[in-house]
Amino acid sequence: MSDQINNLSVAAGFFAMIATELVILFVGITFLVSLMLQYANPETVKRVLSGRRLGVGNVLGAVFGGVTPFCSCSAVPMVIGLLELGVPFGVVMSFLIASPLGVFNPVVLSLFGTLFGPSVMIAYVATTFVTAVLAGIILDYLGLSSHVRKVRLIGGASGCCEVGGQPEPVVRETGWALFKTRLAIAARNAVGLFRQMVPYLLIGAAIGSFIYGFVPESFLAQAAGPGNPLAVPVAAAIGVPMYVRTETMIPIGFALTQKGVSIGAFMALAIGGAGASVPELIMLAKIFKKKLWIAYVLTIFTIATLIGYLFNFLTASAAL
């Protein structure tokens, strides 16, 4: 009984710490992101990327994908719109891969940096960015551009959904009045999105707390620790069909790594789930023919696996 009480106390303390950090970071970063997005729109992204060649275009595509946290409902219209403007197929694929991984997403990166440290955050940015660029180049080189369905975008990509989930009214003020209006919109979006996401944040913190307090370290270390060479691809295979919110997975992953799970296995699970969630794959099936759709899934699986093994190697080399 005393062990159970002690485990409960440990889990409760872990939950209080993680939940508090997540709430503060999420609201603050979401407010800043919402304010930033009011100074940009999808049309700007399409205009900058149109006419770009492979290489430089892939880098720009991955950058724009990494900094624009488009939700699932806007991902497919954005892809269609980019293709309609003549943006090269490979550049569009780099954009598509980088965006759901949150390569430069301030919310994701702040959580990584807070819970895992700046070295892990930097390694995550570097590896996901490079693989997004290379994957776009490779998919184009394989000639998969011919496997995109002829789908027209009706009504444009803008206005599909914003950070807070609601299209914003047209703002006609200027100067300080305009800035105050945008601050109000950003605050409303931050609060609105927090209300939508708080169950997922707390569920993630609760699951992580339970793992931290009650699951034996020896079991997790044996099943998914650095000593199990199959832990990374298995985690990637599990993550691909899952619908995993990165904000939910990070606190769970932190607890898992504290219990002996390799950071590579966690990265493979998180990247696989974020890069190929079921809702996104269903929508992509509308514009990708079967061969390209399968290639995209395999690409995400490969990226998740390679990055997972790389993180394990860097950890073993004491680089992280």
Helices (H), 117-174: 118-141
- The whole-number pLDDT of residue 255 equals 77
Q: Which residues pair with 148 in a beta bridge?
A: 288
Interacting residues of 117 by C-beta distance below 8 A, sequence separation 6+: 320
Contacts of range 313-317, beta carbons closer than 8 Å, 24 or more positions apart: 313/264, 314/123, 315/226, 315/262, 315/263, 315/264, 316/226
Q: What is the pLDDT of residues 267-307, one digit of tens each?
A: 888 888 777 766 677 778 878 999 999 999 999 999 999 99
- The whole-number pLDDT of residue 134 equals 96
- Give the Cα separation of 102 and 249 in Å (integer): 13
Region for 318 from its dihedrals, namely left if φ exceeds 0, alpha if ψ lies in -120 to 50, beta otherwise:
left
Positions in the chain short of pLDDT 50: 2, 71-73, 153-168
Torsion of CA 314, 315, 316, 317, to 10 degrees: 50
- The whole-number pLDDT of residue 226 equals 67
- The whole-number pLDDT of residue 165 equals 44
